[in-house]
Amino acid sequence: MGGLQIPMTHVLLLAATLFSCGLLGLMLRRNIIFMLMSLEVMLNAAALAFVAAGAKWGQADGQVIFLLILTVAAAEVAVGLGLVLQIQRRFKTLDMDQANRLRG
Amino acid sequence: MAIWLIPFLPLLSATLLMVSTGRMPRSLTAVLGAGSVGLAALLVALLAQGFLADGQVREVTLWTWMAVDNFTPRVAFYVDGLTIVMMSVITGVGFLIHLYSIEFMWDDESLCRYFAYMNLFVAAMLLLVMADNLLLLYLGWEGVGVCSYLLVGFWYRDADNGKAARKAFVVTRVGDTAMALGLFLLFTELGTLDIQPLMVAANANWQVGDTLPIVATALLLGGAVGKSAQLPLHTWLPDAMAGPTPVSALIHAATMVTAGVYLIARNYQLFLLAPPTMQAVAWIGVATLLLAAFTALAQHDIKRILAYSTISQIGYMFLALGVGAFASGIFHLMTHAFFKALLFLAAGAVIHCLHHEHNIFRMGGLRTRLPVVFWSFLIGSAALAALPFTSGFYSKDAILLSAWEQPDIGPWLWAGGLLGALLTSIYSFRLVFIVFFGEAQTEPDRQPGWRMAGPLLLLCLLSLIGGWFALPLSGVFPENGHAQVNHSVEIISIATPLLGLLLAYLLFLGRQLSIDKLLASPTGQALKSFCLSGWRIDNLYNALWVRPYTNLAHWWRNEPIDQLYNAVVAASQWSHRTLLGLQTGELRWYATSMVFGLVLLLAIMLRNAT
């Protein structure tokens, strides 16, 4: 240990801020690409919280989960971008408010 | 010789045609459809030849249908003289009609369906007449009913045809129910349904005039009345003309409608035990033949005239059965099959060549334009009217003579039959004079080909010489030799149709007599519309049965228990409509809802935790 310690609360506050930014972006943006980016931000906010918690208690689990989240995010982006391509091809737009054909 | 092949051939062909569902080439369909019946007719001819040579009754048992305790109906055939006559009519006339159908139905898209139903009908009808027990007979009985339903409603895209088919089915079903009850009664009382043992048992256990045979025969008579379109169940037959004309010729003139006559003739020993039923048969016959003949006078649809005349002629057969002249009844059945099939086929040719025109007042002058059809129609009408030396003359004469010889009621029955003969002659020549003479109203656009003309000519021949056939019925029915032939009676029954012909000539061709003034008066108008509607019997039945029944059905549709299930339906429909609003299809709306739901859940959990 030693060196400059960042207080736990700061890290968690940062994670919460990032998560809220992502959430707001997800709810407010209409462009599917920006929605995907917002999702990434939320995932990384969660990952940051795990890393911080892992450092706090000196456990490796935090970093393990971080790696898992990284993988999930990569997979999600792969699928998500594929869907984006399809949406662009079918609807000729990336505005998700236009793609509402499953309306009941 | 394999007797079972005779009904099996049409059945096999019907099955093949049904399985092919119209993918077969049209020519193969026609060959299969007409050929199977033709082959059956050939086998019947061989069988008849063998029978005439040795006079042996042939019995064939194929297998036991079912075995329940002592009830073991077999699938077995019993072929005696009566059966031979019926089989010859069914396959012989049936084959000619099938041949004719090839040309008549060639342009129809459902040719395959048509021949499948027709062959199935022939198979069922053969089963009916060949069955050695009443249960197998009942199977054939219902089989022909189904085929009649299918063929009346053949052009099902027109809703009226469907209604006519339904009417035919439901009205005959009334009679069939009575017949089924009669069979139950016979089985519980006598313990068998095999016809020959049944007759023996009936004669051993019952006396003439007992209640049980009267009830049993009355129930069987109900079935016969329904199937043979007699009063009071005759209303379905005129509507059944909605089917294709060869169907009317085969089913509603030559074969199926005479099944009731066959049923009574086949069980005649039972009916002899019940004199009141026999009298009822005779009176039903007379009443029906008069009513139908009066109705036929006023009709203007060519097929409806023939339909009413069929009802009327079957009335004669019932009269013959009722007075115990079974052989004469069957004889008239055969000659009627010849000349009525001829008339229907000729009418079909007129309709076919005249752009599907049915109204006789829009025909006229066809004598020179369709000569073959004209001569066929003329010969058929002459036989129908029983002009001397035609086939109808011999059979109708025998019936009237037997009626005259009946004690007590005989002269009345005879007078009724005679009046009917006069009317028959008038309406049949009215038809000939209006359709084939006078001014042409519609020009024919084609001539009948050989497939139509051939059967017409053969049936012409049969209608002319059919009266000289000696039917092999002496072993089937008891002899009732005519003790002394009353010559004045004979002369009157010969003169009556000629008088009718003369009247028809004066009224409809020469116009020396005029009924225009009578028809123009209010009474005449009322009388005409009364006759045209078939004595308003349809209206009566509608008011008595059909409307109360439909009203009741409508009323029951709102019954209380249904309300419960309706409430379930309404609730699920309401929630469907309400929840449908949540399904917006917008991604951001879903995401936002999830977030708020999550926040709500977290808030609740946190509140509970503290």
Percentage of chain B beyond pLDDT 70 is 99
Residue B587, SS3 per DSSP: helix
Q: What is the mean pLDDT of residues B360-370?
A: 83
- B607 residue type, one letter: R
- In a mutational test of the A interface, the residue from B588, B596, B598, B599 whose CB has the highest number of chain A CBs within 10 Å is B588
Number of other residues whose CB lies within 10 A of the CB of residue B369:
17
Instruction: Tell me the pLDDT band of A2, cut-offs 50, 70 and 90.
Output: low
- The whole-number pLDDT of residue B480 equals 63
Q: What span, in angstroms and rounded, lies between the C-alpha atoms of B217 and B233?
A: 17
Contacts of A27 in chain B (CB under 8 A): 588, 591-592, 595
Task: Please indicate whether, in this complex, the C-beta atoms of A100 and B592 are within 8 angstroms of each other.
Answer: no
Any idea what DSSP says for residue B257? G
Provide the whole-model pTM.
Answer: 0.77
B591 CA to chain A: closest CA distance, Å? 7
Task: Please indicate whether, in this complex, the C-beta atoms of A35 and B595 are within 8 angstroms of each other.
Answer: no
- The whole-number pLDDT of residue A104 equals 66
Cβ neighbours of residue B231 under 8 Å, at least 6 residues apart? B225, B284, B287, B288, B291
Look up tokens 């086998």; give the residue: B43
Domain ranges of chain B: 283-513, 558-609
Q: Which residues make beta-bridge pairs with B495? A: none
Does A77 contact B at CB distance below 8 Å?
no
Q: Is a pLDDT exceeding 60 seen at residue B440?
A: yes
Q: What span, in angstroms and rounded, lies between the C-alpha atoms of B266 and B272?
A: 12
- The whole-number pLDDT of residue B471 equals 81
- The whole-number pLDDT of residue B184 equals 93
Instruction: Tell me the pLDDT band of B508, cut-offs 50, 70 and 90.
Output: confident
- The whole-number pLDDT of residue B495 equals 87
Q: Which residues make beta-bridge pairs with B74? A: B64
Q: What pLDDT, in 10s, does the model give residues B69-119?
A: 888 888 999 998 899 999 999 999 999 999 999 988 888 888 899 999 999
Q: What span, in angstroms and rounded, lies between the C-alpha atoms of A87 and B206?
A: 90
Residue B71, SS3 per DSSP: strand
Q: Which residue has the higher pLDDT, B365 or B278?
A: B278
B17 CA to chain A: closest CA distance, Å? 47
Q: What span, in angstroms and rounded, lies between the C-alpha atoms of A43 and A15?
A: 10
Q: Is a pLDDT exceeding 70 seen at residue B281?
A: yes
Q: What span, in angstroms and rounded, lies between the C-alpha atoms of B479 and B158?
A: 51
Task: Please indicate whether, in this complex, the C-beta atoms of B592 and A27 are within 8 angstroms of each other.
Answer: yes
Q: What is the mean pLDDT of residues B377-399?
A: 89
- The whole-number pLDDT of residue B181 equals 95
Does A26 contact B at CB distance below 8 Å?
yes
